[in-house]
Structure formats: structure tokens, C-alpha cells
Amino acid sequence: MELPQLKIDNLTARLPIIQGGMAVRISTGALAGAVAATGAVGVIGASGMAFDELRKEIAIARKLAGGGIVGINIMFAAREFWGIVQTAIQEKIDLIITGAGFSRDIFKVGRDGKTPIVSIVSSARLAETAQRLGAAAIIVEGKEAGGHLGTDRSVWDIFPEVLKAVTLPVIAAGGIVHGADVCKAIKLGASGVQMATRFVLAEECAAAPQYKKKYQEATKDDVVLISSPVGMPGRAIRSAFVDKIVAKKAPRPVGCDFCLKHCSLEYCIIQALINSQKGDVDHGVVFSGENVWKIPDRSIKPAARIVAEIVAEAGAC
Ligand SMILES: Cc1cc2nc3c(=O)[nH]c(=O)nc-3n(C[C@H](O)[C@H](O)[C@H](O)COP(=O)(O)O)c2cc1C
């Protein structure tokens, strides 16, 4: 199948693939820019970044993107949500994707700042609400996704319900790791897909080598659900720290800076994500989608090669 373009508001991506935003500092400007340069959409995971840091990462992405589309992803659960949104709009980001919670007020801010807002949802009801409030597109994320999860249902079950409920472009996310999955989504009526897990093995991904090694070695049984202090479950690869979370023995936060609007204080998720990003995976959380073990070739390679391989796989179906 030849992949169609992806249209969101006044933006047109040559490929219907969005590289999902990954915090903390897993998808930075280097990855987003490299992906955008291929004709797909590159996304900076902005949760946990300082405002000046985000400005720098947007500039890095822009330089690499060669005119390609660059967005940011921000968790609504983050205390600095509005500061990140304003910073991204000031820096003239192409689009803002919001997940891990739902903001009703962001659509007006996006309209005023002439920036399309794309909502990640896990139900037809929330998709309808997002459309009514002014979203430019909907990403339907199923339980197969990495990071924080809004549902225990498969994307393939929720997707047709959302497609029926809205007229906006609908993008499928969660467990899509192969071009054949992209074909399947497009044939079902998706305008595109959002893929994150497959892009962690890109050279440009900012995660430490130890983090990427967890991806390279993960088996099906290594990918587990954990509780997160955000108040939603998360999907991650087993490590010494993840085993402690599962056993309810993770250490309580020390030196909390109240980075989340609501936090159960079960453990510090941001510190755990920072530790693993820097390579201390035994004291950290390595988020991953359910199908990491199905990635066809888990060597580390340039993002452009990953995109070319996905397109070739899709071409063969
Ligand atoms: C390491 C990692 C970090 C993530 N961080 C975020 C995030 O900060 N915000 C968000 O909305 N989604 C986040 N996600 C979810 C992805 O953006 C994406 O929607 C999802 O993982 C798609 O499923 P896949 O990874 O199986 O392709 C993260 C996923 C991973 C794997």
C-alpha cells in the first residue's frame, strides 16, 4: 500500500506517521527534527522540561527538520502545562498534542495562538468532546501504548467507535510497531498512526544506551503494567525499580518539587524517568509499548532509516 498524506488543519505531512512524544527527554529536538525531515511528524516530549530548555529543543528540531512538521507533547497532569503550552506557541510550534488528562481550555488558547491542538483520547465520548471544543485531530490511544494509559481496551476496539463519532482526522496509537500495522489502521479508516516505541531505537533518541538495551532485550513477559503517582496506570519494561513498584515497595519521594497537579506520592515518577533516561535503569522506569518485542530489527539506526523501513513494510502489504 502506498501511504497517504496526513492532513491536520492547515498542515500536510507527506507520511501519515506521527512519532509520539516521549518524556522525560526521550524524544528531544534531535529525534523530532530527524523524523520531521523524512516527511513524518516529529514530536518533542515536553513534560518535565524547563521553558528555556524547550525553546532550545524546538530550535534544534527546526534546524534539522528542513521545513518538516514539528510538534510538542505535553501531559495535562503536569503542573507547568500552561507555561509549556505558551512557550511552544511563542516559539511558533506547528502543533500541540496533549495527553494524560484532558484540558477543556486549551482549544481557545490554540485558536488565539493559531496553533492546532491534537487531543489524545481513549474513548468516543472524549473524542466527541474534543471535536466540539475545537481539536484539529484526534489520536485514539489503546492499552497497547507505552507511558501513561487512559484505558484497558485495545486500540483496535476503540478506533471504529471514535471513527463513527467524529468527522475529524483520526489517528491510531498503541502497539503499532510494523508497517503492516500502519496498513491495517489506514485500511480501517485512520488518517494516520502515532508510533513511539519503535523510535526509541533511533540513533537520535536521547535515551542512554542502557535504556535502549532494555528495548533490545525485552521479551513479551518483560512488559508490565505499573501504578503511577499520576493516578493512571503505565506500561513499562521490568527492572529492579519496576519490580519494587509492582510489589508496592518503591521508595517515597525525597525533595518533591510538586511537578504534578495531583500526585499520590507513592514514588517519584519524574525522578524514575530521569534516572532511566540517564542510564540508571535499575533505579528508574523505562516506559514502553506492549509490542516492543515485535519490532522487526532491534538494532540502533538513524530515524530516517526507521521511517524508510516502516514505509517499505507498508508497501509490501
Ligand atoms: C518512552 C515513552 C514515553 C512516553 N511519554 C509520553 C508523554 O510524555 N506524553 C504522552 O502523551 N504520551 C507518551 N507516551 C505515549 C506515546 O506518545 C505513544 O502514544 C504510544 O506509546 C504509542 O504506542 P507505541 O509506543 O506502542 O507506538 C510515551 C511512550 C513511550 C514509549
Ligand 1 and 169: CB distance under 6 A: no
Ligand 1 and 23: CB distance under 6 A: yes
Ligand 1 and 173: CB distance under 6 A: yes
Ligand 1 centroid distance, CA of 288 (Å): 7
Ligand 1 and 16: CB distance under 6 A: no
Residue range(s) in the chain whose domain bears CATH number 3.20.20.70 = 6-206+297-315
In this prediction, residue 100 carries a pLDDT of 85
In this prediction, residue 101 carries a pLDDT of 84
Rounded to two decimals, the pTM is 0.98
In this prediction, residue 255 carries a pLDDT of 85
Ligand 1 centroid distance, CA of 197 (Å): 7
CA separation for the pair 40, 285 (Å, rounded): 28
Our CA angle for 255, 84, 65, nearest 5°, is 120
Under DSSP, is residue 65 helix (H, G, I), strand (E, B) or coil? helix
Low-confidence ranges of the chain (pLDDT < 70): none
Q: Which residues contact 227 (CB under 8 A, 6 or more apart)?
A: 233, 234, 245, 266
Supply φ then ψ for residue 172, to 5 degrees: -95, 140
The CATH label, of 3.30.2310.20, 3.20.20.70, 3.30.470.160, 3.30.420.590, for the domain at 6-206+297-315 is 3.20.20.70
Ligand 1 and 176: CB distance under 6 A: yes
> Any bridge partners for residue 7, and if so which?
12
Ligand 1 and 196: CB distance under 6 A: yes
| Residue 56 one-letter amino acid | K
In this prediction, residue 122 carries a pLDDT of 97
> Any bridge partners for residue 17, and if so which?
193
Ligand 1 centroid distance, CA of 173 (Å): 9
CA separation for the pair 207, 190 (Å, rounded): 30
Ligand 1 and 175: CB distance under 6 A: yes
